[in-house]
């Protein structure tokens, strides 16, 4: 794929990582992209963001589709996480006269990552003139690292917010309307749940600051996945509004792991009970469903219901791994409930309760435990317990 025009005088020159299947523990079955953008001014050119080291030759070849890389006069480092910053030295070598700017915190991050490399801090109230076209900058701390920064080109109303509005989605189309807005919004949500959920307040603040600054983007070009424009951009904005405000619906997520099928039988009965209460529910076996997918399902849900049999006095490692995964994502403001089978001595439900309530989820219902293989009476009781969960979900604001 060659450089792709985004709008007048701006090109996508990033790379598509079709094979990426894991992003620090977040499973990415659809791959990802590391987006970088080339901006043309009358007096110079700017490159917004770089890519992972291994992809630098590909980035440079796309820049060369448009302009000799040596003519680029400005490199903007919006974020120092290595997926965008590890290739910086290689890119700088091909753009020897380029000034390199980052947020004040980003300057420190670049030096720390690149063995003392010195770049220039750009103040939020400064505009860099490329000749008839300017770039403006806005720090967006903790969206999702302290150094994160947004870049905006007001003349063409293009916002390049790095990870914000990103999705891990590799595709031949560069725009959300080309790959299908529903797919793009789903991946936006998976990304939000797995990366941005713990910083939702900072994301909300970032969106407010964009408005307060009078920036009215017609195009949002993030550093991962597809680019938003037109109706797709409006849909992405609305989705962010919903998620940052914490809106939830009457929905429960049941996730479990099983040894010999008893906890699976209980899980299905619990789902029947939740359904009978008129509440939407999804059932996920953690042996075959990624933690990222379950976390996404939790994004607009009011309840997390976890099931595990007892093994060596505790929960199965897949359930423990999932709890560890969401610990940092802090899906608080939800209720939790715990169930599981045991052979001769319990322990799993107690351990799940301790770990999950420590994160901050409420657990108002009694746990549901059952010995060995569930009888039909046990399954009836599990269904009744599921119904209680459904009623509790409906009672929650
Ligand atoms: Fe895509 Fe926070 O890096």
pLDDT tens for each residue of 255-301: 999 999 999 999 999 999 999 999 999 999 999 999 999 999 999 99
Q: What is the pLDDT of residue 1?
A: 84
Instruction: Verify that 131 and 280 share a domain, yes or no.
Output: no
Q: What is the pTM of this model?
A: 0.96
Q: Are residues 71 and 171 in the same domain?
A: yes
Same domain, 309 and 232: no
Q: Is 79 a catalytic residue?
A: yes
Shared domain check, 155 and 280: no
Look up 129 and say whether it is catalytic. Answer: no
Which of helix, strand or coil describes residue 293?
helix
Cα 286 → chain centroid: 20
On whether both 69 and 200 belong to a single domain, the answer is yes
The total number of structural domains that make up the chain: 2
* pLDDT tens, residue by residue, 122-175: 999 789 999 999 999 999 999 999 999 999 999 999 999 999 999 999 999 999
**Domain stops at, among 185, 216, 245:** 245
**Active-site annotation holder among 34, 37, 191, 192:** 191
Mean pLDDT (the chain, rounded): 97
Rounded CA gap, 84 and 333, in Å?
33
Is 224 one of the catalytic residues?
yes
Assigned domain for 372 exists: yes
The rounded Å distance from CA 204 to ligand 1 centre is 18
In a domain, 96, yes or no: yes
Q: In sequence order, what E strands does 247-392 have?
A: 251-256, 280-285, 303-307, 335-342, 368-371
Q: Are residues 151 and 32 in the same domain?
A: yes
Q: Residues near ligand 1 with C-beta < 6 Å?
A: 79, 81, 83-84, 144-145, 163, 223-224
Same domain, 317 and 378: yes
278 and 193, same domain (yes or no): no
Domain around 87: 4-245
């Amino acid at each position: 794929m060659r450089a792709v025009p985004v709008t007048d005088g701006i090109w996508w020159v990033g790379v598509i990582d079709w094979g990426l299947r894991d992003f620090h523990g977040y499973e990415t079955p659809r791959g990802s992209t590391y987006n970088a953008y080339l901006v043309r001014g009358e007096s110079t050119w700017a490159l917004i963001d770089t890519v992972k080291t291994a992809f630098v030759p590909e980035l440079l070849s796309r820049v060369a589709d448009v302009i000799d890389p040596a003519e680029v006069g400005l490199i903007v480092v919006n974020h120092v996480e290595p997926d965008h910053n590890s290739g910086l030295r290689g890119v700088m070598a091909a753009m020897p006269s380029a000034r390199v700017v980052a947020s004040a915190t980003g300057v420190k991050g670049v030096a720390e990552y690149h063995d003392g490399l010195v770049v220039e801090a750009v103040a939020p109230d400064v505009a860099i003139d490329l000749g008839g076209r300017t770039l403006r900058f806005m720090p967006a701390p903790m969206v999702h690292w302290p150094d994160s920064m947004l870049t905006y080109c007001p003349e063409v109303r293009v916002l390049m917010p790095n990870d914000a509005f990103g999705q891990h989605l590799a595709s031949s189309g560069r725009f959300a309307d080309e790959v299908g807005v529903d797919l793009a919004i789903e991946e936006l949500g998976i990304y939000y749940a797995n990366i941005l959920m713990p910083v939702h307040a900072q994301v909300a603040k970032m969106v407010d600051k964009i408005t307060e600054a009078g920036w009215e983007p017609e195009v949002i070009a993030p550093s991962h996945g597809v680019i938003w424009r037109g109706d797709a951009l409006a849909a992405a904005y609305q989705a962010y509004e919903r998620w940052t405000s914490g809106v939830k619906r009457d929905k429960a997520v049941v996730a479990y792991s099983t040894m010999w099928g008893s906890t699976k039988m209980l899980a299905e009965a619990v789902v029947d009970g939740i359904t009978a209460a008129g509440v939407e529910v999804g059932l996920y076996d953690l042996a075959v469903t990624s933690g990222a997918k379950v976390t996404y399902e939790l994004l607009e849900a009011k309840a997390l219901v976890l099931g595990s049999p007892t093994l060596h006095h505790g929960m199965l490692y897949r359930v423990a791994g999932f709890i560890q995964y969401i610990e940092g994502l802090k899906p608080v403001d939800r209720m939790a409930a715990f169930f599981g089978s045991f052979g001769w001595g319990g322990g799993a439900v107690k351990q799940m309760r301790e770990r999950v309530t420590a994160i901050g989820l409420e657990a108002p219902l009694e746990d549901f435990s059952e010995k060995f293989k569930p009888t039909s009476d046990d399954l009836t009781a599990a269904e009744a317990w599921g119904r209680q969960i459904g009623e509790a979900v409906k009672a929650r604001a």
